[in-house]
Amino acid sequence: MNNLLVTHSVSKNFGNFKALNNVSIEVPKGSIFGLLGPNGAGKTTLLRIINQITMPDTGTVHLDGELLNEKHIKDIGYLPEERGLYKSMKVGEQALYLAQLKGLSKAEAKTRLKFWFERLEIGDWWNKRIQELSKGMAQKIQFVVTVLHEPKLLIFDEPFSGFDPINANLIKDEILRLRENGATIIFSTHRMESVEELCDDITLLHQSNKILDGKLVDVKRKYKTNTYEIGIKTNDNAILQQELSEKFSVSKANFKTLDNELKLNIKLNKDDKPNDFLSYLTSKGEVSHFVELIPSVNDIFIQTVKNS
Amino acid sequence: MNHLPLIIKREYLTKVKNKSFIIMTILSPIIMIALISVVAYLSQLNNNKTRVISVLDESGIVKDVFKNSENTTYHILEKNMSLDDAKSKVEKSSNYGLLHIEKFDDMDTLSKHIKFYSEESPSLTLISGLESRIEKKLTNLRLQQKGVDIEMIKASKVNVNIGQESFEGEKTSKIDSVVKLIFGGISGYLLFMFIIIYGNMIMRSVIEEKTSRIIEVIISSVKPVQLMLGKIIGTSLAGITQFVVWLILGSILMTIVSAIFGIDMAQSPQQDMMQQAMENPDVNMQVQDVLTAFYNLPIANLIIAFILFFISGYLLYSSLYAAIGAAVDNETDTQQFMLPILMPLILAVYIGVFTVIEDPHGTVSTIFSFIPLTSPVVMLMRIPFGVPLWQQLLSLFILIATFILTVWFAAKIYRVGILMYGKKPSYKELIKWIKY
């Protein structure tokens, strides 16, 4: 079993509205899985189904090879996008309560909480009430509560919202560490740069359908267009540009250089090899810049959503 | 996983530790006792003042019935003083009032011309007291005039009291019915009060997760049914705790206050009258009857039934409040749902008072003692009149089943309600939700 979580053609309707339409995803063990999609694509509904908050109309969900059932509650840690804490309860009491709901014993929960509170340097908050804390502080506690029972599957929905860059980084490091310790992570966000940085696999939902999925590198490979960004210094830039436009599709590139170089984006033809192209270029002048343009997740996202 | 005890514990502790809850728990009995003390003190003040009443008895036949008592002194004026003189004299003095009895030979005319003059309008009890004294005297006088021996009348008076007995040999009486009515009334009223005071608390507690947005975290670890049940039980326990504290604190304070200020709370002007009445052998008999009526009640059955019906009834109404809490996002949206909840309760009390007393085992009473929303009140009122065990059990079963059904229903609404943030639910919407 290489996949920790598998959903098989899951559908969900709310009245006449189709929230999910035959969505199948496979989350490999030990990976960080990016669940992406524009607003209203059905991400939250899918996450709620995985958390057994709602039931799918059709389709199945398997966790670790078993059909999802009540005992899996303790195997999942969920940090929802809509989140909060009991305002009038003290931090420590509250964290203990939530940990016990996830099946930890009180003593065990206490030890682990002490550990985490120390690690995130929030030990002296234990007796504060939530209403005395800032939003970012409360978010930290929510993060701790989510991961405390060391679940196999962690689900983070916009985990960085409300954090300053320093704390966001801290949480990012913790997420990476959790993966190293064997957790599988589903990560839903609109911040593409963090997807780029963290995710191994991605799935893109749009209007209740899955429109894209796979390993991030595979997806990028698929979406790359064999385009290179070049900078070259010749005696007459215009002649070379003319020559290149005849052979390839060419557009202007924008990047900063020191000299007055010819800067172009060049899309190679299907069978062209980058090496051949490079030696061709060097024969024409002094190459100062030669980079393959790899599509960013952001580009892929926008492109796929627009096209579908 | 069963998290019910954990949820109950949290709900209970957060309620009990809440500052305003603690303040209310301590303050309420103090305020109550303070109010009662003030009222008792004031009425005693009023009572202690000795009233002086001047009596101008021109006829001279009734003046001997006015005997001075603790609170009232009678000042008999000269028989031949004129009414105007008497009035001005009484007005100048600080006397309470002037009773004027004109002289007529005819008893009927005399009785119609008795007047009481005073600055302020006199108290009702005073006037009726005077009336009954004069009445008695005049009646006796007239009887004597007609040559009737009063002693003989007294001696020949017969008291009739029809004893009632069921075919099974259970003895009852008129007074029994009154005692039963009072018992049923108190239980119904207590339930009513409890629901009004603590129903809202349960509703607010159910809304809590939504306003603090913790709902998704909680609901991904706990089943909504458990959450609902935990909230209802936890909050109810907190309510019972508060009630018990009120009772204990109240009685302690009562004792302290009466010890310090020497105010006998129980003593009121009414008690004086009671005491007077007690001397009357008839009333004394009645008190005896009340006591026997009380002992005749099926006490064990009553106590058990009271506990069971009270708890189940309270839980049922609580679950309705929980269902409302589950359906809405914030407290302001709850208004439209409140009335329909209280209606059956009010109806139950009316049925109890008007129907059960007339005909405790009639169709209306019987039917309503099975309908879950009215049964806690109506059945409790019926039980003192003797209800077969199977009926009690059936009614209780229906009540508990409805409670469980309502909690399940509330949980269902709750689960669906999460997905509909910010939408004000209509009844139509609610029905749609159940079908999911």
Residues B66 and A185: their CA atoms lie apart, in Å, by: 98
Cβ <8 Å between B217 and A145: yes
Overall average pLDDT of the A195-202 stretch: 91
List pLDDT tens digits, range B19-60: 889 998 989 888 988 888 888 788 777 666 677 888 888 877
Q: Residue B17 corresponds to which tokens in the numbers above?
A: 């530790």
Domain boundaries, chain A: 3-221, 225-292
Amino acid of residue B169: G
Cβ <8 Å between B213 and A142: no
Q: Say if residue B71's pLDDT is above 80.
A: no
**Alpha carbon of A278: minimum distance to chain B alpha carbons (Å):** 55
Please indicate, yes or no, whether residues B144 and B230 belong to a single structural domain of this protein.
Answer: no
Cβ <8 Å between B6 and A97: yes
| Superfamily, domain A3-221 | P-loop containing nucleotide triphosphate hydrolases (3.40.50.300)
| Strand-pair category, A153-157 with A184-188 | parallel
Q: On the CB side of A308, how many CA atoms lie within 13 Å of its CA?
A: 18
The DSSP letter of residue A129 is B
Chain A residues whose beta carbon lies within 8 Å of the beta carbon of residue B214:
83-86
Residues A167 and A174: their CA atoms lie apart, in Å, by: 10
**Alpha carbon of A232: minimum distance to chain B alpha carbons (Å):** 57
Overall average pLDDT of the B141-167 stretch: 80
Alpha helices per DSSP H over B18-149: 19-48, 83-92, 107-112, 124-145
Please indicate, yes or no, whether residues B141 and B278 belong to a single structural domain of this protein.
Answer: no
User: What's this model's pTM, rounded to 2 decimal places?
Assistant: 0.75
Query: Within a 10 A sphere around the Cβ of A71, how many other Cβ atoms?
Result: 11
Contacts for B364 with CB less than 8 Å, ≥ 6 apart: B351, B355
Alpha helices per DSSP H over A120-252: 135-147, 165-180, 192-198, 216-223, 237-247
- The CATH number given to A225-292 is 3.30.70
- Among A55, A57, A51, CA closest to A81: A51
Give the three-class secondary structure for B159.
coil
Q: Say if residue A277's pLDDT is above 70.
A: yes
Q: Does any CB of chain A come closer than 8 Å to the CB of residue B215?
A: yes
Contacts for A305 with CB less than 8 Å, ≥ 6 apart: A38, A204, A206, A211
Q: Is A80 left (phi over 0), alpha (psi -120 to 50) or beta?
A: beta
Q: Say if residue B292's pLDDT is above 80.
A: no
Give the three-class secondary structure for A274.
helix
Cβ <8 Å between A86 and B14: yes
Q: Which helix (H) or strand (E) holds B301?
A: helix B299-327
Give the three-class secondary structure for A33.
strand
- The answer to the question of residue B25 being in a domain is no
- Among B381, B410, B248, CA closest to B309: B381
CA–CA–CA angle A254, A259, A261 (5° rounding):
55
Q: What is the pLDDT of residue B64?
A: 76
Q: Residue B377 corresponds to which tokens in the numbers above?
A: 């009140």
| Weakest-pLDDT range from A70-74, A297-301, B169-173 | B169-173
The alpha-carbon radius of gyration of chain B (Å, integer) is: 31
Q: Residue A23 corresponds to which tokens in the numbers above?
A: 């969505």
Query: What does the DSSP assignment read for B234-276?
Result: HHHHHHHHHHHHHHHHHHHHHHHHHHHH---TT--HHHHHHHH
CA–CA–CA angle A246, A248, A252 (5° rounding):
95
CA–CA–CA angle B159, B164, B168 (5° rounding):
155
Over pLDDT 90: what percentage of chain B? 9
Of A14, A80, A103, the CB nearest to B217: A80
Cβ <8 Å between B220 and A80: yes
Cβ <8 Å between B221 and A48: no
| Weakest-pLDDT range from B210-214, B263-267, B373-377 | B263-267
In total, how many domains does chain B have? 2
Q: Say if residue B431's pLDDT is above 80.
A: no
Q: Does any CB of chain B come closer than 8 Å to the CB of residue A110?
A: no
Query: Within a 10 A sphere around the Cβ of B346, how many other Cβ atoms?
Result: 13
Q: Residue B34 corresponds to which tokens in the numbers above?
A: 């303070």
Residues B77 and B83: their CA atoms lie apart, in Å, by: 10
Q: What is the ipTM of this complex?
A: 0.80
Amino acid of residue B138: L
Residues A11 and B270: their CA atoms lie apart, in Å, by: 75
| Weakest-pLDDT range from A41-45, A121-125, B167-171 | B167-171
B5 pLDDT band (50/70/90 cuts)? very high
Q: Say if residue B168's pLDDT is above 50.
A: yes
Of A14, A79, A88, the CB nearest to B18: A88
Please indicate, yes or no, whether residues B283 and B427 belong to a single structural domain of this protein.
Answer: yes
- The answer to the question of residue B39 being in a domain is no
- Burial code (b: 16+ CB inside 10 Å, e: under 16) for B138-150 equals beeeeeeeeeeee
- The answer to the question of residue B15 being in a domain is no
Q: How many CB pairs below 8 Å do chains A and B form together?
A: 67
Q: What is the pLDDT of residue B280?
A: 54
Please indicate, yes or no, whether residues B206 and B125 belong to a single structural domain of this protein.
Answer: no
- The answer to the question of residue B154 being in a domain is no
Domain with B123, as residue range(s), is 50-148
- The answer to the question of residue B262 being in a domain is yes
Please indicate, yes or no, whether residues B125 and B261 belong to a single structural domain of this protein.
Answer: no
Q: Residue A212 corresponds to which tokens in the numbers above?
A: 């894209």
Residues B107 and B110: their CA atoms lie apart, in Å, by: 5
Q: Say if residue B265's pLDDT is above 50.
A: no
* Better-predicted residue by pLDDT, B267 or B231: B231
Q: Say if residue A141's pLDDT is above 70.
A: yes
Please indicate, yes or no, whether residues B117 and B197 belong to a single structural domain of this protein.
Answer: no
B261 pLDDT band (50/70/90 cuts)? low
Q: Does any CB of chain A come closer than 8 Å to the CB of residue B357?
A: no
Q: What is the pLDDT of residue A203?
A: 93
Residue B88 sits in a domain whose CATH number is 3.40.190.10
Query: Within a 10 A sphere around the Cβ of A278, how many other Cβ atoms?
Result: 14
Residues B368 and B76: their CA atoms lie apart, in Å, by: 62
Q: Does any CB of chain B come closer than 8 Å to the CB of residue A74?
A: yes
- The answer to the question of residue B272 being in a domain is yes
Cβ <8 Å between B1 and A70: yes
Query: What does the DSSP assignment read for B115-152?
Result: EEEESSPPPHHHHHHHHHHHHHHHHHHHHHHTT--HHH
- Among B284, B318, B270, B305, CA closest to B385: B305
**B216, B431, B432: which to substitute to probe chain A, counting the most A Cβ within 10 Å?**
B216
A156 pLDDT band (50/70/90 cuts)? very high
- The answer to the question of residue B106 being in a domain is yes
Chain B residues whose beta carbon lies within 8 Å of the beta carbon of residue A71:
1
Q: What is the mean pLDDT of chain B?
A: 79
Q: Which residue has the tokens 């302001």?
A: B332
Query: What does the DSSP assignment read for B191-230?
Result: HHHHHHHHHHHHHHHHHHHHHTT-HHHHHTTS-HHHHHHH
A50 pLDDT band (50/70/90 cuts)? very high
Residues B351 and B354: their CA atoms lie apart, in Å, by: 5
Q: What are phi and psi of A186, to 5 degrees?
A: -100, 130
Chain B residues whose beta carbon lies within 8 Å of the beta carbon of residue A156:
none
**A12, A16, A53, A78: which to substitute to probe chain B, counting the most B Cβ within 10 Å?**
A53
Chain A residues whose beta carbon lies within 8 Å of the beta carbon of residue B218:
98, 101
Please indicate, yes or no, whether residues B225 and B345 belong to a single structural domain of this protein.
Answer: yes
- The answer to the question of residue B263 being in a domain is yes
Q: What is the pLDDT of residue B422?
A: 45
Q: Say if residue A186's pLDDT is above 90.
A: yes
Q: Does any CB of chain B come closer than 8 Å to the CB of residue A55?
A: no
Q: Does any CB of chain B come closer than 8 Å to the CB of residue A124?
A: no
**Alpha carbon of B215: minimum distance to chain A alpha carbons (Å):** 8
Q: Residue B431 corresponds to which tokens in the numbers above?
A: 């029905």
Give the three-class secondary structure for A4.
strand
Q: What is the pLDDT of residue A280?
A: 87
